Amino acid sequence: MKAVKIAMVGAALVWSATAYAAGDPVKGEKVFKQCKICHQVGPNAKPGIGPVQNNVVGSKAASRPGFNYSEAMKNSGLTWDEATLDKYLENPRGVVPGTKMVFVGLKNPQDRADVIAYLATQHGQ
């Protein structure tokens, strides 16, 4: 039974890595347009309703300068790796109850992979 669980976890990790690798940053930029209501990226990005998303992939949650995060986000202890971003983008309030983010989430896994691929290209300032 233990070997079956290990195999299932391994398969899930391989699928996850493949899903993110399959993300298309060009398509992700198009999907990200709905995020631009609150979030900016690029060299002149500034915090607004939400924090700037430059260099977000691999960063610690609540670490973007110039943004007043919720206590829930400050205390989440999350690192925005691809797997965590995928879960959060699918259901923000499910991952961080009490977050200020009111977005209901991206339900399509390919859209999430594409947005993550796009965000990985955004280094800005």
Helix (H, G, I), strand (E, B) or coil at 46: coil
- Can you tell me the mean pLDDT for 84-88? 98
Say how many domains are in the chain. 1
Structural domain that includes position 28: 2-119
69 assigned to some structural domain = yes
Q: Hey, what are 6's tokens?
A: 């290990």
Is residue 101 a part of any domain in this protein? yes
* CA distance linking residue 36 with residue 29, whole number of Å: 10
In a domain, 42, yes or no: yes
CATH of residue 6: 1.10.760.10
Q: Is residue 125 part of a domain?
A: no
**Containing H/E element for 109?**
helix 109-119
* Res. 118: pLDDT tops 60: yes
Checking if the pLDDT of 125 tops 90, the result is no
- Please state the pTM of the whole predicted model: 0.81
